[in-house]
């Protein structure tokens, strides 16, 4: 059972390459959000597979690791596309690490605000790995069902792209509740 493939990432890279970005038309940037949401949907499929006992949690962690290993690097020869692509890849990293923590059962008891404070403090000290992990802990809480509050994030922080991924998880989960068929 394959939840995500290299060719799926390649399709997104091709779609981004074909997209004409227009800074005056935010809708032209939707492809980046769609790529991020596609990864989240794949991860939600892994959760479903675990719940339906098709795979074990340990296998789910391996699947998430596999997707993490597929994250492409690409130069579009366009500064704006490259910047948005890198931002999206950082968001995807935060998403995948969140799902990994979720499958490992490592759900933090800290509040979202305390985790954000940790993330910002670690970022300032140059511990980007620790900072990303603090944000991923927020994501694991969201996946488990906690509501992501409004957070005040400095504009110049690397944390912002990771939080964007967590926010996307929250949005996709909300939409899946709306779209869920009523039994």
What's the rounded Cα separation, in Å, for the pair 143 and 139? 6
What's the rounded Cα separation, in Å, for the pair 140 and 29? 27
What's the rounded Cα separation, in Å, for the pair 134 and 75? 29
Per-residue pLDDT tens over the stretch 85-104: 999 999 999 999 999 999 99
Q: What is the pTM of this model?
A: 0.93
> In the 8-state DSSP scheme, what is residue 1?
-
Question: Quick one: pLDDT band at residue 66, thresholds 50, 70, 90?
Answer: very high
Question: Quick one: pLDDT band at residue 183, thresholds 50, 70, 90?
Answer: very low
Q: Is the pLDDT of residue 146 over 80?
A: yes
Counting DSSP H helices and E strands in the chain, the numbers are 7, 0
Q: How many CB atoms lie within 10 A of CB 68?
A: 17
Q: Which two tokens stand for residue 46?
A: 């892994």
Q: Which two tokens stand for residue 111?
A: 């509040």
Question: Quick one: pLDDT band at residue 180, thresholds 50, 70, 90?
Answer: low
What's the rounded Cα separation, in Å, for the pair 92 and 37? 9
In this structure, are residues 115 and 137 in contact, taking their beta carbons and an 8 Å threshold?
yes
């Amino acid at each position: 059972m394959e939840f995500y493939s290299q060719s799926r990432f390649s399709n997104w890279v091709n779609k981004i390459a074909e997209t004409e970005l227009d800074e005056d038309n935010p809708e032209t940037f939707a492809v980046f959000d769609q790529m991020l949401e596609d990864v989240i949907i794949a991860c939600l499929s892994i959760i479903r597979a675990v719940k339906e006992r098709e795979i074990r949690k340990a296998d789910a962690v391996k699947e998430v690791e596999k997707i993490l290993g597929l994250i492409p690097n690409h130069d579009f020869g366009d500064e704006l596309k490259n910047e948005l692509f890198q931002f999206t890849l950082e968001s995807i990293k935060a998403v995948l690490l969140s799902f990994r923590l979720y499958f490992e059962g490592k759900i933090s008891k800290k509040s979202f605000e305390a985790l954000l404070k940790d993330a910002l403090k670690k970022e300032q000290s140059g511990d980007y790995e620790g900072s990303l992990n603090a944000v991923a802990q927020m994501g694991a809480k969201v996946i488990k069902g906690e509501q992501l509050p409004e957070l005040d994030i400095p504009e110049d922080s690397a944390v912002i792209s990771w939080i964007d991924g967590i926010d996307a998880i929250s949005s996709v989960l909300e939409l899946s509740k709306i779209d869920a068929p009523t039994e």
